[in-house]
Every structure is written in C-alpha cells, then in structure tokens.
Amino acid sequence: MELHKLLLFFILQFLTIHSVASQYLPTWDSLDSRPLPDWYDDAKFGIFIHWGVFSVPSFRSEWFWWDWQGAKYNDTVEFMNKNYPPGFTYADFGKQFTAEFFNAAAWAQLFQNAGAKYIVFVSKHHEGFTNWPSKYSWTWNSQDLGPNRDIVGELANATKSTGLHFGLYHSLFEWFNPLYLQDKQNSFTTQDFVDRKTLPELYELVNNYKPDVIWSDGDWEAPDKYWKSTDFIAWLYNESPVKDTVVTNDRWGQSVMCNHGGFFTCSDRYNPGHLIKHKWENAMTIDSQSWGYRRNTNIQDILTIEELLEQLISTVSCNGNMLMNVGPNHYGVITPIYQERLLQMGSWLKVNGEAIYGTRPWSYQNDTVTSGVWYTQNKKSSPAAVYAIALSWPESNTLQLAAPVPSAITQVTLVGYKGSPFQWKPRSPSGITITIPAINYNDMPCKWAWAFKLTGIKN
C-alpha cells in the first residue's frame, strides 16, 4: 500500500513539473517557441473587415479623424468646412453610424462563398469606438450609440456557425484619448491607459467572444513593455479559453514587428515575393487607397480579380496567408464591387482550392523560364503533388517549366479539367515541357490563373 502511495506521489510530482514546464513565460523567447496552430497555416485565405464610425464621413480613409484634427490635411479640413456646420465634432458622426442593413448571417455567408477560411473584424480602430458593448468605452460603443447592437457578438455567432474561424483586430492606442496622451507626455513611464483601457478591453474580447485570431495594431509609438504585451500573450497562450487555437500577429510594440509573434505582417500589404521561413500574412486591400469605405472611390482604385489572384498565389507560394480587406458602408452594406471580387475569388477557389488550402511552399517559388508561374505543394495528398499555377494561359500549345524534374511515372493534369492527362517530355537542360491540347472554351475549368498538377516528379 505504501508503495502505491509513493508511486502516486512521484506521478503527481512529474505531472506538476511537466505542467509548469509547458507554460509559456512572458518573454519573447518563450512565446515565440509556441507552435503555430495548424488551422491557420492550412487556411491560407481570410477576410479583413474595417468598419466603424470612420465609415460615416467615408472620405480619404479610416484615418479620417486624425487627418482632420491631427494632421489637419487641407482636403479633409475643406471637406468638413464645406459639408458640416461649425462646431460639428467627430463624436457627432457616432449617431450616424446606423448599420440598419447590417446582417451578420449574410456577411458570414458571403465570406464563406468567397472561399475564406477565417475573418478578422475590426473591433476597435484608433478612434477608440468599440464595436461591442465594452465596459471600458462608456457611451462610445456600438450598443450605447449608433447601431445600438453588439456588432462583434452578432458577427462572432454568425461566422462560427458557418465553420469559419473568427478573429478580431484591436488597436492598442487611441489618437485622442486623454489617458494615452498623458502616458505619452510622460514618455510612457506611466501605464494608466494600458491598465484602464487597452488590457481590460483585450481580456473582455477574448473571454466574451473567444476569437481564434488576435490581430493587434497601433503599437508603434511605445515599446512592448509599456503595452505589457508579453504578459497578455502569455495569458492568452496559457490560460485563455482559446489557448490551443488562437494565433497572434507581430504588432505589439516598437521593434517587435517582423521579429516576434505567431505570424509576421512586417508592413501593410506585405508581399516580399520570395520565401519567408517564418509564417507571415499579406494584409491587403481591394481598394488600393483605403481600408475603410470611401464614397468617392473610383473603379481604377479597385484591384482586378487578376491582381487579387496574383497576390493570393504568390503569397501562398512564399509561405504566407492573404488577408483581403473589405470596407462596408455605414449602413452595413458590403457594396457590389466588393461582393463581385469576393465571389470571383470564391469561384476560383472552388475549382483550384486543392492548390491553395493545406499546401506548403515547394523547393522553388516561381519558375525561371516562364514568368508568372508560382509553385505550391501538398505532401499529404495521395500521391504527393506539386502545383504550377500559371497567371496567364500559355500563348502556344506548350508550357515550359524549368523547376520540376520529371520521372517515368510523372503525370500532368489541369485542376478542374475533366479531360485526359497532358502529354509531356523532359526539357533540356532541365525541367519539363507540357503539351496542352486544344480545349473548348466551355470546358475550361476557370477564367483566370490555371493550376497544373504534377505528380511523380523527382524533386
């Protein structure tokens, strides 16, 4: 009996030590050692949504308040002088953020139809307005003002019901918050804003809505120690209700970006065009000029589907995910040009998803003989496959590729095409030459960017 008690004691000691050892410490060395949850690397494609009080003036960008009363840009000041009475404040836009056509279920269905696997919604931008009834943003939130709704809650429920992962963007700082401005004046030696606003909001978001992505921003003016970033992330990874699934980005303080975090963003619209070993994300916009909705957007500002697919394909080839942004208007409508781009992406991914979802970077990212060809691979498929995704259809009846080394059992097919495998021959001095048969227009699997699937190659 005593032996059993002794054995139990040692087992409990082992489990205690093992449990402590598995905890992530509030240091970047420790936090960066956490493996990235597989779901994120497999997802490849997500939707960013910038929506807030800035969607009411919908002029210039989501930085409207700063452009007007911080930088005082001439065009923004003139816009306000021409269109609003003297004494009108930014807070007056709050009640005009009406969201009467916002339908969370319809949004979630649209994002699913777009082929996205996750979304990241702006819970609070630098203006400080929270899209949920935060206890720490009294009267300046979507429940007390404007929509009189818990926007984050509605979208979280709708998104999760479709099977998409739900993520939240949160700005650490606020342009004109007196607490932040006082900390800034004190050279960030005080942390009243962090203790009373930033951290309570983050804990509130995680505990109430259980997001799988925390996309931090607004970090650049102060060091991570001011923001208590590592303390929060350690809690997120160790104790939070999403500790096993959550992923974080790299915007947690000066000098942290592109150095620490679950995935790197490095800059807005980051797409290096070559392999980055650490997982990264290309957060980019359909409207090339803004993240938020603009009433004066022109069609030339909107990226074409060909441009968007080039971004997606090159990003995935180089070990990135693409987070494509839409900016709804203040009514809660995602306007038709955004809808069209989303549904175009979805139609392409419905055919070519096997060349994107769950893939990993290959030995080569793009071809050196034929430009505009990007590679991905799937080692888990049976048989293992390499995908050569051509942004343009070959002008002749052949596709020359320098990177793949064929073998006697190599097979080449066009993803989504129901015809026979394509003929090929070894290319000199290396590579493969694929012969493309005449294909009826109606039999083409898609309208843009074609994925050639190669199995049985040597490399």
Exposed/middle/buried for residue 30 (C-beta within 10 Å: 0-12, 13-18, 19+) = middle
Are residues 364 and 432 in contact, defined by beta-carbon separation less than 8 angstroms? no
- Distance (Å, whole) CA 140 – CA 129: 5
Q: DSSP 3-state assignment of 178?
A: helix
Write down the residue that tokens 């979280």 correspond to.
Answer: 156
Report CA dihedral (105, 343, 275, 319) to the nearest 10 degrees: 30
What single DSSP character describes residue 141? B
CA torsion sign, 134 to 139 to 145 to 148? positive
- Distance (Å, whole) CA 190 – CA 381: 54
Amino acid at 231: D
Give residue 396's pLDDT: 87
Note every long-range contact of 417-424, with CB atoms under 8 Å and residues 24 or more positions apart, other chains counting.
417/443, 417/444, 417/445, 418/443, 419/443, 422/452
Give residue 332's pLDDT: 98
Distances (CA, A) of 241 to 46, 168, 191, 206, 212: 22, 15, 26, 7, 10
Q: What is the DSSP string of 72-91?
A: --HHHHHHHHHHS-TT--GG
Q: What is the DSSP string of 187-236?
A: TT---HHIIIIIHHHHHHHHHHH--SEEEEE--TTS-HHHHTHHHHHHHH
What single DSSP character describes residue 303? P
Query: With a cut of 50, which residues of the chain have pLDDT below it?
Result: 1, 11-12, 14-21
Give residue 382's pLDDT: 83
Give residue 2's pLDDT: 57
Amino acid at 347: S
- Distance (Å, whole) CA 245 – CA 21: 20
User: What backbone torsions phi and psi does residue 157 show, to the nearest 5 degrees?
Assistant: -65, -45
- Model pTM? 0.94
Beta strands in 35-109 (DSSP E): 45-49
Are residues 119 and 111 in contact, defined by beta-carbon separation less than 8 angstroms? yes
> What interhelical angle do 199-209 and 151-161 show, nearest 10?
40
Strands 411-414 and 280-285: unpaired
Comparing C-alpha atoms, which of 199, 275, 263, 212 is closest to residue 32?
A: 263
Terminal-residue alpha carbon distance, the chain: 60
Comparing C-alpha atoms, which of 172, 171, 241, 173 is closest to residue 212?
A: 241
Triad 385, 390, 394: Cα angle to 5°? 120
Distance of CA 397 to the CA centre of its chain: 38
